[in-house]
Amino acid sequence: MIIDEFIEKPKILSLFANQRIHWSNFLTLLHLLMIKHGERKFHLASTNKRELKNLCNLADELELKWKITTGTSLFEYQKQAIPLPQNIANAIGTTHNGNAEEGLLITKDENALDSLEGSVLSDSNVGKILDYPDCCVKWYVNNKSSDWEELYAFVMEHYCEGVNTPVENIIQVMGECDANSPETRNRIKKIHVNHIAESRNTMPFIFFQPCDVCIGPSSPARKLNEKYANFAKENYPQLYKIIIDEGKKDAKYYE
Ligand SMILES: [Zn+2]
């Protein structure tokens, strides 16, 4: 019943959802159902007001346990094409590391609810918690590191007066800068087309962005997608179909 009603009238459950495309809402429902069946352990979501109440209500309806867990953030930087100067990397780390980071944790087992309390909610750890392949997590961290490097280069070129600018001023300008370099825009466009749109069409049952290897055949991401797809097909055929259809709509948004 819950599933039929949700398909009829989907609610916002995901940070990635918009009012017209419900792919991420249907996929969240599927991932919660997998938790209920013991096929996945955790769902970890943002505590954004827009979806928080809907998620908690749905977890209650499915008789799952939930809590708002508090961990800490970590600046995970891996040197890419033009490495950040060490003092800049350190300064960014200082502004990020150890800050409180909240997440809505949903699980089947009451005892597992406290298991993440106080842990480091870095991209790598969140990837592990959510069963994402290591290669895709690493690729994501590398992309985010490139974001930082390109932002630093852009800020130095356009807003700062040379190498004598105090580090705290550079960090402040980086924090306020809402423009992207053409290099960043190109890279992100490629990720949207080659990874996000591509995977919505070919791997609509996973949330994460597949890495360069995983976009190819018989990869870890493909295997996970197949596992989740089979679960949906066997247990919730209507949900299976609508995730594929909505995935195609979502792909168009990124193409
Ligand atoms: Zn991968």
pLDDT at residue 160, as a whole number: 80
What is this structure's pTM? 0.94
* Dist. CA 220 → ligand 1 center (Å): 6
Element (H, E) at 233: helix 220-235
Residues facing residue 107 across a β-bridge: 42, 65
* Dist. CA 135 → ligand 1 center (Å): 4
Angle 95-97-103 from CA coordinates, rounded to 5° = 110
pLDDT digits (tens, 9 = 90+) for 37-77: 999 999 999 999 999 999 999 999 999 999 999 999 999 99
Q: Is the pLDDT of residue 163 over 80?
A: no
Q: With 0-12 CB in 10 A as exposed, 13-18 as middle and 19+ as buried, what is 178?
A: exposed
**Unique residue bearing structure tokens 């590398």:** 142
pLDDT band for 159, please (50, 70, 90 cuts): confident
pLDDT at residue 217, as a whole number: 94
Provide mean pLDDT across the span 225-231. 98
* Dist. CA 131 → ligand 1 center (Å): 12
Provide mean pLDDT across the span 200-216. 97
Helix and strand numbers, DSSP H then E, in the chain: 12, 3
Q: Is the pLDDT of residue 126 over 80?
A: yes
pLDDT at residue 164, as a whole number: 82
**DSSP class per residue in 143-174:** HHHHHHHHHHHHHHHHTS-GGGS-HHHHHHHH
Q: What percent of the chain has pLDDT over 90?
A: 93
pLDDT at residue 202, as a whole number: 98
Name every residue whose Cβ is closer than 8 Å to that of residue 2 and which is 6 or more positions away in sequence: 58, 61, 62
pLDDT band for 248, please (50, 70, 90 cuts): very high
Residue 228 and residue 30 in contact, taking contact as beta carbons nearer than 8 Å: yes
* Dist. CA 243 → ligand 1 center (Å): 21
* Dist. CA 12 → ligand 1 center (Å): 28
Q: Is the pLDDT of residue 17 over 80?
A: yes
**Unique residue bearing structure tokens 């699980």:** 107
* Dist. CA 255 → ligand 1 center (Å): 21
* Dist. CA 208 → ligand 1 center (Å): 9
**Residue 152, amino acid:** Y
pLDDT at residue 232, as a whole number: 98
Q: Is the pLDDT of residue 104 over 90?
A: yes
pLDDT at residue 18, as a whole number: 81
Q: What percent of the chain has pLDDT over 70?
A: 100
* Dist. CA 203 → ligand 1 center (Å): 12
pLDDT at residue 79, as a whole number: 98
* Dist. CA 117 → ligand 1 center (Å): 28
State the virtual CA torsion across 127, 130, 133, 138 in degrees, nearest 10.
-10
pLDDT at residue 205, as a whole number: 98
Which residue in 40, 243, 218, 222 sits closest to 130, CA to CA?
A: 40
